[in-house]
Amino acid sequence: MDLTAYVTFHREGELALPAIASASAARLNASLELSVELVAVLDSSDTVTREIVTSRASEFARVHLVDFQDLGAVRNFCAQESDSSFIGMLDGDDLWSRNWLSSATQLLRERGAESIVHPELVYYFHDRPTGPAAASRGFGLRHGESSSFDNNLAYILNPWTANNLAFRSLVSSVEYRKRLPQFGLGVEDWSWNLETLRLGLSHLVAPETIHFVRVKHAGSLGVANSLDGLSIHLERAPSRL
Amino acid sequence: MSFNFSGFASGVRTALRRFSSGYVERYPDVLNFRFPPFVHWLIYGWREKRHYFPSLIVSRKTLGVELSLIHKVNSASYPIDFENLIAELDFQANLEPMLPNSSLRDLGATPVYEAWSLTARTGISSQKITEFVGQTFSTVVVMPSVVIGGAEKYMSNLAREVSEDNPLSVLIVLTEEGGLHSDVDLPAEIKWLNECNTLYWTSSGGFPANPELLARFLRSLNTPQILVCNSDLGFQTVSRFGLGLGQSAQITPVMFSFGPPGALSYARIFARQLSSQFSILTDNSRFVRDLNVFTGSTRTISPQILPSLCESVAEASTIKPTPPQKKRSSIKWLWFSRLSWDKAPELLVEIAKRRPREEFHVYGPSGPREITDLFASVSNIHVWGPVCDLGELPLDEFSGYVFTSRFEGLPNTVLEAALSRLPLIVSDVGGIRDSLDEGHCFLIPVDGSDSEQAMSFDRCMQTLLDMDSRDLKDMVQNAFTSVHSRHSQLAFKARVKELMREKR
């Protein structure tokens, strides 16, 4: 298998449905050029989410029920679970442009194993209110390649979202860190981005690809991290990147 | 249309119960409070900036992020492929009805920002931060501003000692408008701070007062030591993010007193939470006692006492004792302090009225005009303005040093006066008894009315003037010796070394 795209679920409920449909469309598009599978990983999920994902089990090559209660541990599990050349991470309440999986894999093939690929555009949309009001509040962030800005800024802001695509060998060699609220540490994707920058790996963007991110009315992980006072993990003492 | 009051009340009760559990989970010390968590929040929590209503905060924060993005960056010329975006939106909107499609709005107007744009993502408009991010410092000091004051002297001496007198290895983060004063206005000890690296984390400096952002910045620094003193933003930052920050640096909150009863001092706002995470550093044992009463909890990590370094010690040891003279053509008393209401200037006025034939000379940085006017209303009080230290004054002209303050940590001016061998008549406040007792000076209780206190001062001043010169000389020498042994450079160095060793 060339690519395994992992869709991770927790307590998304009915929001899992559009995510599964969007991931399937991206898989279908990518399957014209490479062998690709979708795998569902449900971490400490609730009954509704479990039922919804199970009802769409035919979309997935495998469905895993795990109990890590930790996004970093889930991502590490994915890196171990796959035997594909590439792996991609998809959050179970977001959506992706149909060209995401194919374009990202193509770019990785061109640029080699020391790279991580991100969507070019992240489009944030609101899950309420509905209609034109929600539309008027949408906005985008354009990801940049790590060579295009002062990487030290990555201490102050997370330059990339967690939905990336990379060689499996890279993801298994740089582990995601667990959430450790008892030590005030967490934010696994940001910590991982910093660690990969420190290791000198390249972060690239696949042109004209889009990640649609839902701005949640409540239950956002970023806000929860902030309220819990979590800081990023650092493998060693901070230094200039 | 009718309104169901009992249903409404029941809903409110349910909501409060739900928020209560979150409040207790977030702030376990609330369990020590004898009333329900909501009552704790009403009395203390809101003043201590604790969050009781998590859902409101979530929605406000979510909106806050988005609004700051939209309003701060002009995306008009941004080269994004909107045709592709619109095509994908139209496709994905069939899967997710919450996504807009091209019929709903002019998608070409969608704001798009660079993900690495500091301004768009954080509201920080200063690029100055980039020169410090990821850098190595021996010490980082977060404080409000650098002005003449005991706290500044203390922090300067502490940072100087910890950094082994290398200002270039120290970063000072100033969090309030005002910043550094010019060297001319500052005592030598505080001037040292001007030689350090400085970052103005203020709104005029291009930084929002956001604890999370300051925490991210501090986390990026390679430093073993972060000292925080008198900074609202600094204390908010370490009280929320100190646990994570503490993984790579020693966090030391520095506090001196709880302030007068009822005052909303930093100690009252932050000490409870900070003392459960860090060992607070202070200069006096009174603060430690107050902290124990205030927290009343075994969760408190023992605070550490580092007596201040008194700058005149080195020179003072070489000064010849100058016994006060009993008989003078004109009796003069010295009042040397910042002109503020907590120094009880009205008490000095009472005292001056009781001793109309004597003169009271006031030195210190100016304060509210009302205080100057108050002093001007009494003919035997003379106001001279600020001086950097006591050494600039004609000390041998004074019969003694009068200190009327109502609350203190450990006042430097009293220590300096003792080292200058001035007889002392001082309010028995703060940590003065750490260094001085009745064998060293006259201590006036502060629990009476103004007139009772003025009477006590008056009585002691007369006793001092009537004292046998040998007894007076002994008292002054005892005060000198006591302060010298506790506040010398040698003692300060040794204690800092000891503290660093304990913290390691």
Pairing mode, strands B112-114 and B197-200: unpaired
| pLDDT of the residue at B68 | 34
Convert B389-405 into a string of H (helix), E (strand) and C (coil). CHHHCCHHHCCEEEECC
Chain A nearest-CA distance from B57, in A, is: 9
Query: Can you name the residues that pair with B305 across neighbouring β-strands?
Result: B282
Do the beta carbons of residue B472 and residue B463 sit within 8 Å?
no
Pairwise CA distance, residues B499 & B393, whole Å: 36
Residue B208: DSSP 8-state? -
Q: What would the two tokens of residue B336 be?
A: 């040397």
Pairwise CA distance, residues B152 & A175, whole Å: 45
Please name the helix (run of DSSP H) or strand (run of DSSP E) that holds residue B282, with its range, or none: strand B281-282
Q: Measured between beta carbons, which residues in chain A are less than 8 angstroms from residue B97?
A: 130
Q: Does residue A131 have a pLDDT over 60?
A: no
Q: What would the two tokens of residue B230 be?
A: 């008198």
| pLDDT of the residue at B185 | 64
Tens digit of each residue's pLDDT (9 = 90 or more) over A93-105? 999 999 999 999 9
B247 with A216: Cβ contact below 8 A:
no
| pLDDT of the residue at A238 | 74
| pLDDT of the residue at A126 | 78
Q: Does residue A110 have a pLDDT over 80?
A: yes
CA-closest candidate to residue A229, choices A172, A183, A165, A162: A183
A230 with B244: Cβ contact below 8 A:
yes
| pLDDT of the residue at B369 | 87
Q: Measured between beta carbons, which residues in chain A are less than 8 angstroms from residue B244?
A: 183-185, 229-232
Q: Phi, psi (5° rounding) for residue A125? A: -125, 155
Pairwise CA distance, residues B98 & A134, whole Å: 7
B133 with A216: Cβ contact below 8 A:
no
| pLDDT of the residue at B61 | 36
CA-nearest residue of chain A to B114? A142
Name which of A125, A126, A141 is nearest B113 (Cβ-Cβ).
A141
Q: Phi, psi (5° rounding) for residue A189? A: -70, -40
% of chain A exceeding 90 in pLDDT: 78
Could you report the average pLDDT of every consecutive run of 10 residues in chain B (504 residues)?
54 66 65 74 71 47 35 41 74 84 60 84 86 94 85 93 95 83 68 92 90 95 95 95 93 91 85 92 93 78 92 46 52 89 91 94 85 91 82 88 89 90 93 93 89 94 93 94 92 92 69
Q: Say whether residue A129 is in contact with chain B using an 8 A CB cutoff.
A: no
The Cα angle at residue B73 between residues B67 and B79, in degrees rounded to 5: 120
User: Structure pTM?
Assistant: 0.82
% of chain A exceeding 70 in pLDDT: 92
Q: Say whether residue A80 is in contact with chain B using an 8 A CB cutoff.
A: no
Q: Measured between beta carbons, which residues in chain B are less than 8 angstroms from residue A148?
A: 116
Name which of B61, B104, B243 is nearest A223 (Cβ-Cβ).
B61
Q: What would the two tokens of residue A59 be?
A: 């979309």
B248 with A238: Cβ contact below 8 A:
yes
Which comes out higher in pLDDT, residue A154 or B47? A154
Chain A nearest-CA distance from B233, in A, is: 15
- Exposed, middle or buried, B437 (CB in 10 Å: 0-12/13-18/19+)? middle
Do the beta carbons of residue B306 and residue B284 sit within 8 Å?
no
Written as one letter, the residue type at A62 is R
| pLDDT of the residue at B78 | 44
CA-closest candidate to residue B404, choices B456, B357, B369: B456
Q: Order the strands of the B139-143 sheet from edge to edge.
A: B197-200, B170-174, B139-143, B225-229, B250-254, B281-282, B304-305
Q: What would the two tokens of residue B399 be?
A: 């019969």
Pairwise CA distance, residues B359 & A14, whole Å: 83
| pLDDT of the residue at B180 | 57
| pLDDT of the residue at B140 | 97
| SS3 state at A41 | strand
Of A160-169, A200-209, B110-119, B203-212, least confident by mean pLDDT is B110-119
DSSP letter for each residue of B451-483: HHHHHHHHHHHHHHHHS-HHHHHHHHHHHHHHH
| pLDDT of the residue at A119 | 96
For chain A, what is the mean pLDDT? 91
Name which of A22, A138, A238 is nearest B100 (Cβ-Cβ).
A138
A238 with B124: Cβ contact below 8 A:
no
Chain A nearest-CA distance from B365, in A, is: 39
Do the beta carbons of residue B240 and residue B51 sit within 8 Å?
no
Chain A nearest-CA distance from B202, in A, is: 17
Q: Measured between beta carbons, which residues in chain B are less than 8 angstroms from residue A157?
A: 115-116, 118, 121-122, 216
Chain B nearest-CA distance from A229, in A, is: 5
| pLDDT of the residue at A92 | 96
| pLDDT of the residue at B341 | 86
- ipTM score of complex: 0.92
Q: Measured between beta carbons, which residues in chain A are less than 8 angstroms from residue B69?
A: 139, 141
